[in-house]
Amino acid sequence: MSPDIQSMMDRLGPAASLAGYTVESFPDDPWCIYNVGGEVKLWLRQENGWYVLSESERDRDERIFFAGANLRDMELVLVYRMANRHRRRIGSPLLVPTSAPVTPDQTAKGFDLGRKEYGAWVLRDSATGSVWLGRMITLTEFSHFAGMAPWQLWDVMTERAQSSFSTLS
């Protein structure tokens, strides 16, 4: 178990709890973040120098949700998801950085989103050359908060700070 992942999961624990999720690690190194009842599971693993977050639901196969080389980026994606789940639990509207429906052309300035030859979605930051893989919606949304610190994102999402995100009921 990576001490860096352990530290991130320790920080994420309170947010996951507010969102109705539980964080658990397993001996073979994947982490699981699951909702009450275990119907939705997020699996975090390290593979070939990347952090990979996959999702499985009761009757569906596991599929890649988000992947990147930087653990901070993974933490941002998880904070965003937990904050919106928390908002849903308390009856607040979801916050999204784009209009709905989310489309590939809605990435933040300086980011390009496209498909690789085998169909996977790839997000590129033209300024840094950083690359991420995952679901189109996740990558589009991530491009808008990629420059934030995880705690800043949590504050914005939980309305402790003025939000520039739009609400989606």
CB atoms within 10 A of CB 58: 9
17 CB-near residues (< 8 Å, 6+ apart):
none
Prediction pTM value: 0.88
Residue 162 — pLDDT band, cuts 50, 70, 90?
Answer: very low
What does the pLDDT average to over 70-87? Answer: 94
pLDDT of 100 > 80? The answer is no
How far is Cα 163 from Cα 8, in angstroms, rounded to an integer?
24
The number of distinct structural domains making up the chain is 1
pLDDT 10s digits, 35-66: 877 788 899 999 999 999 999 887 788 889 99
Domain of residue 85, residue span: 3-168
Mean pLDDT of 79-99: 89
